[in-house]
Structure 1
C-alpha cells in the first residue's frame, strides 16, 4: 500500500532523476511529472527520465506491487488497463513516493541496473482490509512488471481502459 496523494505515486531512480530535475525543472515546455493531457486521459501514467508517475483512481491508500522478471512476462488477463514504457534505472535502486510521501519514507528496492521495460497494469480489486481513508473512486491494484530491455521503445497501450476512469 502507498499513499497516492493527489491521485498518483512515483517509481523513480531518485539520484539520476534529481540530477535531471535540477537541469530541467524550470522548463515551461515540460509538464510536471510527465502529466501531459494524453498521459492524464489516455495513458494513466506520466513519464520523465528515470521516473514513472502512476495515476490512480483514488486519492488515498492504494495497493501496488512491483515484480522484477528476467524476461517479458505474460499480460494480466484481469487488468482493465495496461500500458508499457521504458524506465532507465542506472543505479539499480528504485524508490516509491508521492506528493505526500517523501522518497526517504517510501519503500525502495534493488532492481537490475540499466534500461528496463515497465508494464503498468490496473487490476480491479475489492476494497482492502486496511484503512484507505474512505476516499471516492474504484479500487485497483497497480501492478508494475519490470524486465531488462535490450533497446528503447515508445510508450504503448496494450489494453485501453474506459475514459473517464477515475471517480
Structure 2
C-alpha cells in the first residue's frame, strides 16, 4: 500500500531528481511533476528526469506492486491501461512517496543503476483488505515493472484505457 496523496505517487531516483529540480523548478514551461494535459488525460503518468508520477483513481492509500526484472516481463492481460517510459536512475536507489509525504520516510528499492524501462499497469482490483480512507474512485493495483535498458525508447501507450477513468 502507498499513500496516493493528491491522486498520485512518485517513483524517483531522489538525489539526481533533487539536483535537477533545484535547477529547473522555476521554469514556467515545465509542468509540475510532468503533469501535462496529455499526461493527465491520456497516458496517466507524469514524467520528469529521474522521476515518474503515477496518477491514481483515488486520493487514498492504494495497492501497488513494484518489481525489478532482468528483462522485459510479459504484460498483464487483465490490465485496463498500460504505459511504458524511461527512467534514468544513476544511483540505483529509488524512493516511493507522494506530495504529502517526505520521500525519506517512504519505502526505497535498490535497482540496477542507469537507464531503466518502466511499465505501469492499471489492473482493476477490489477494495484492499487493509483499511483506507474510503474515498471515491475505482480500485486498481498499480503494477510498476522495471528492467534495465540499453537505450531510451520514450513514452509508449501499450494499452489505452477509457478516457474518463478516475473519480
Provide TM-score, normalisation by structure 1.
Answer: 0.99
1:93 aligns to what? Answer: 93
Structure 2: 5+ residue stretches without partners: none
Please report how far the alpha carbon of residue 75 of structure 1 lies from its aligned counterpart in structure 2 after TM superposition: 0.3
Aligned pair count?
167
1:29-68 alignment runs, 5 A limit: 29-68=29-68
User: What secondary structure does 1:151 align onto?
Assistant: coil
1:22-33 alignment runs, 5 A limit: 22-33=22-33
Structure 1: 5+ residue stretches without partners: none
1:1-167 alignment runs, 5 A limit: 1-167=1-167
User: What secondary structure does 1:38 align onto?
Assistant: helix
Provide TM-score, normalisation by structure 2.
Answer: 0.99
Distance, in Å, in 2 between the alignment partners of 1:144 and 1:90 is 19
Question: Could you list the per-position Cα deviations for residues 98-137 of structure 1 after superposition, in whole angstroms to 9, with x for gaps in the alignment?
Answer: 0111101110010000000000000000001111100000
Please give the root-mean-square deviation of Cα atoms over the aligned residues, in Å: 0.5
Question: Could you list the per-position Cα deviations for residues 66-121 of structure 1 after superposition, in whole angstroms to 9, with x for gaps in the alignment?
Answer: 10000111000000000000000000000000011110111001000000000000
